[in-house]
A and B are shown apart, each in its own frame.
Chain A
Amino acid sequence: MRAMTTSTTAKRHVAAQGSTENEREAGGGGGAGRSRPDGRTPGAGAPRGPSKVRAALAGALLVALGGAPALATPAVELPVAKAASTGAPGVDLRLDGRAAGRLLAESRDSDASGGDDKSKADEKPGEKSDDVKMTVTKGAPPATKSTGSDDTFAFVKDWPFWAIVGGVVIVGASVYMINRNSNQDRSCPSVYNAGCFGAK
C-alpha cells in the first residue's frame, strides 16, 4: 500500500508536510497508507531497519539533497535520485520525522568527516584533490627579445657595469694620487751639495 508515495526528484529541498505521520493521518491529507502489515506504524517506537539499509538511505539522501539543508522529512518517501532520473522505481523509505532528521545528521557527519577521510583514503598517493588546480601550459616558451645589433652594448644598462666603472674610477684616482704624492719633487737633502738629478 503506497498511499503517500511522492517522487520529489526535481526538488532538492524536501519541504515539511507535517510533523508526524499521525498528524498527517489525522488531517487526512496523506491518508492511512503508512500502516504496516503487522499493524505497527514506524513511529517513535518502531524498530529501525538494518544498518546497511540506513547507510544506503543516508547515501541516497546525500545524493538527492546535494548537501542542501533538509527542512523536515516526516514520512516522506524519498526516492533515490539516480533511480528516479533513470526511471527506476523509487524506494519507500517510510521514515518518520525523527528518523529522517537522524539520517540527515548522519549524512552530514559523514560529509564532514567520514566522507573526506574516505575520499582521502581512496586517493592514490601523488594525486591531488579537486580543490587544487594546476594549470600547465604546454607549447612554445614566451618569445624572447630579439638579439639584434642593439643588444651588443646592452650591458651598459645593468648596474653592475656602472658599479665596476665607478670602482675603477675611484681606485684609479686613488692610485694616481698616491703615486703623485709619492713622486712629488722631493727636496734635495743638503748632503747633496751638487743637487739631485734623474728620476725623483
Chain B
Amino acid sequence: MTRKFLGLALMGLGVLGAGCGQSSYFSVDVIVGGATGRQRNSMAEVKSVQVTTSGAVSDESSFLLENFPRSDNYNYPTASGGQIILGTFQYGTTSESGKVTFNVHVKDGSLNDLASGSGDANIQSGGNVATSVMVEPVDSWK
C-alpha cells in the first residue's frame, strides 16, 4: 500500500515538473546590407520590420519588431564594415535542441518590402546565442 502511495506521489511530481522547460535565447541583429546599409538617411523609410521564425520554435513565430518607425534622430549602431544595425531583438524558445530560422522583412509605410533576408542558428540549451540576419535591399530601396 505504501509503495502504491509513493508511486502516485512520484507520478504527481513528474506531471507537475513536466512543464518546467528551460528556455534558450537568441540575440538577433538585423543588419542592412549593401550601400543602403551605410546610409543613415535611407533608414527613415523603414516603418516596420516583420520577423517570421521557423524550426525549433515553441511560441510566437511571427511578430513585428518594436520601436518602429524610429525617431528621426535615432542613432543606429553599426556592425563591422559600417553596416547599420536596424535593430536587435531577443527571441526565446523552450526547445532543447534544433535550429531556428529567422525570416526578416523590412517594410515601408505601404507595407512594401524594402529589404529581406534570413538567417538561422542552433539552440544552445539554456544559453543565449548571438546571431545576425543580413537583409538585402530591394532594387527600389537601393
- Interface residues of chain A, those whose CB is within 8 Å of chain B, are 155, 158, 160-161, 164, 167-168, 171-172, 175-176, 179, 183, 188-189, 191-200
Contacts and interface: CB of A to CB of B under 8 A. Distances in A.
A188 B17 CA distance: 26
A188 B90 contact: yes
B12 A168 contact: yes
Contact of A194 (B16, B20, B53, B89): B89
Nearest to A161: B5
B45 interface: no
Interface residues of B, number: 38
Interface in B25-54: 25, 27, 30, 49, 51, 53
19 contacts: A155-B1, A155-B5, A164-B5, A164-B8, A168-B8, A171-B16, A179-B19, A183-B23, A188-B90, A194-B49, A194-B66, A194-B68, A195-B89, A195-B90, A196-B89, A198-B53, A199-B93, A199-B94, A200-B92
A164 B9 contact: yes
Interface in B54-83: 57-60, 63, 65-68
Given A158-B1, A167-B9, A194-B66, A176 B16 contact: yes
A195 B58 CA distance: 18
A112 to B, nearest CB: 57
Contacts of B68: 194
B9 A168 contact: yes
Interface of B: 1-2, 4-6, 8-9, 12-13, 16-17, 19-20, 23, 25, 27, 30, 49, 51, 53, 57-60, 63, 65-68, 86-94
A199 B92 contact: yes
Shortest 10 CB-CB distances between A and B: which pairs? A194-B87, A195-B66, A199-B92, A194-B65, A194-B89, A198-B92, A198-B91, A196-B90, A199-B23, A168-B12
Contacts of B57: 198
Given A195-B65, A199-B94, 12 more contacts: A164-B6, A175-B20, A194-B87, A194-B89, A195-B63, A196-B89, A196-B90, A197-B60, A197-B91, A198-B59, A198-B91, A199-B59
A198 B26 CA distance: 10
A1 B94 CA distance: 126
B13 A197 contact: no
Nearest to B24: A199
A199 B90 CA distance: 10
A199 B87 CA distance: 19
